[in-house]
Structure formats: structure tokens, C-alpha cells
Amino acid sequence: MALADKVHNARALVADYHQHGERLWSRFNAGRAQQVWYYGELLKLFGERTTSSLVAELAQLVDELEAEARRRTTRVAPTSGGR
């Protein structure tokens, strides 16, 4: 089933994001924003087509991926000395 494959991929993506951070995105042709968008769109599609409990798991993974992306992009960069 395609949904199970996407849930597996999302699990691996979230785990790798926690482990490798922003370096993760260099593995893909699309960057972080595009990957987050892609999984969000998959969630919408599967949510419209099935009532499988895997949809809820995918939703949780997409939420976690979005939260991690927000957390990493809202960090304040350290300032250089002398300013």
C-alpha cells in the first residue's frame, strides 16, 4: 500500500532530521520546504481517500517535521563580537 510506504519514509525522514539536522536536505533534489510541502500534500490526499489509522500516524509525522523545521529556522544566529 502506498500509504504504508509514505509513513515509513516519513518516519525515516523525521528520525534522520533529528540526527543530522539541516544537512539531511542535501540528499534530496528538493529542499526542506519542498519536502515538508510534499508530505503535507500526501497527507491531504490520503486523508480524502482512506480512513486507515496510518493517516493519523502520517499526520503526526508531518506535524513533527513541520515543528522541527520551524524550530530550526527560528533559531537566532550568534552575533559576531564587536557589534
Domain membership of residue 81 (yes or no) is: no
Q: Flag whether 78 is in a domain.
A: no
Q: What tens digit of pLDDT does each residue of 18-42 get?
A: 899 889 989 989 888 899 999 999 9
Q: Would residue 77 count as lying in a domain?
A: no
Using alpha carbons, select from 15, 77, 83 the residue that is nearest to residue 7: 15
Residue 59 lies in a domain: yes
Give the structural domain span for 20: 2-72
What is the model's pTM? Answer: 0.82
pLDDT digits (tens, 9 = 90+) for 48-82: 999 999 999 999 999 999 998 888 777 645 555 55
Contacts of 67 (CB under 8 A, 6+ apart): none
- In this structure, what C-alpha cell is assigned to residue 83? 557589534
Task: Please give the tally of structural domains in the chain.
Answer: 1
